[in-house]
Amino acid sequence: VVNSVALGINIDNPGDINDFYRIGKKLGEGNFGSVAKAAVKATGAVRAIKTIPIPPTKDERRLDFLRHEIKISKMVDHPSIIKLFEVFENNKKLHLVLELCRNGDLWEYMKSSSAGSSGLSEFDSAVVMQQLLRGVHYMHRSFICHRDLKAQNMLLTFKSKPPTTSTKSQPKTSLGKVAALLATATSTADNKESPFENSIRITDFGLSCNFNHG
């Protein structure tokens, strides 16, 4: 473990990331960095590597975002939250080694043809919300506030190919029925497993913070 001069936080691995990972296809790119698929050289385990150029020291706002993202990501360990394995710093770039989520984010899925014109079924919606609320409950019990929860920050990792839903319109559901669905959602409905079971991963902790009890 070494200390990052730019960020003032501990970096897990002082070595060169290319000595430990085979970095492959780029999966996406945004304003603040890119994400590529990678494999651990020693084991073949598949990962996602988020590469972020380290901002100049005068850009304190972006530096704070990075500090918070790394600090909070290291603190959390929950099935509904993306896992950060380790962090590298090479050539003025940070490399975050993350759990690979193969199916994009919930927002893109909802806009795609896979979701159909009616969106998710009531049961699948309940399964998604149950995972989200479990993750939020865990964070709040750990005195962490995410502060940027939205569909774009919920990644999907389906066990098999992404599910499709009917394009027929679905009847509206009362608030009471929604509450009942959330309370009783399990991995089976009408003897069928929901494809969304264990599929949600909360990500992006740049705006997160710790808070005091009470």
Q: Which residues are annotated as a binding site for ATP?
A: 50
* CA gap 136, 123 in Å, rounded: 20
* CA gap 47, 158 in Å, rounded: 15
Two tokens, residue 120: 């998710």
Two tokens, residue 167: 């394009």
Of the residues 124, 148, 190, 204, only one is catalytic, namely 148
- What are the angstrom distances between the C-alpha of 94 and each of 29, 67, 114, 130, 208? 15, 11, 34, 33, 19
- Note the maximum CA span of the chain: 57
> Containing H/E element for 24?
strand 21-30
Residues in the chain: 214
Beta-strand pair 46-53/33-40 = antiparallel
Annotated binding site: 50
How buried is residue 30: exposed, middle or buried, by Cβ count under 10 Å (0-12/13-18/19+)? Answer: exposed
Two tokens, residue 67: 């500090």
Is there a catalytic annotation at residue 16?
no
* CA gap 122, 127 in Å, rounded: 9
Q: Hey, which residues are catalytic here?
A: 148
